[in-house]
Amino acid sequence: MGEQRRAQRARVELQCTLRRRSGSPISGHTLDLGPGGMRVCTSRPLSTDEVLQFEVPPNIAGRGRVLRQAGYDSYAVRFEALDEPALQALRRLVAP
């Protein structure tokens, strides 16, 4: 059975920073974003099932897991840990 997105996303391009357990930060930008995850374009490759810390200024940060590569340099990331202010900011972003 395939994965199914449960939360709506907004097509929005925002700068973001991803951090692995070790190594330098990875810069990128979102292609879409919502309460459940994002599609992100990065300056360096990511691995499927990799867990990352992310920051999308000004007030969205948390932990996510790379689900799959979604294009040459883009990846689908599912959010696994968000604080309440970040979750509220994402809900406002996709609200009709």
For 8-12, 51-55, 92-96, which range has the lowest pLDDT when averaged over its residues?
92-96
Mean residue pLDDT across the chain: 89
CA distance 65 to 81: 10
Per-residue pLDDT at 79: 94
pTM for the whole thing?
0.87
Q: What are phi and psi of 58, to 5 degrees?
A: -95, -20
CA distance 27 to 44: 8
CA distance 39 to 30: 6
Per-residue pLDDT at 94: 82
Whether 47 has a pLDDT exceeding 90, the answer reads yes
Whether 32 has a pLDDT exceeding 60, the answer reads yes
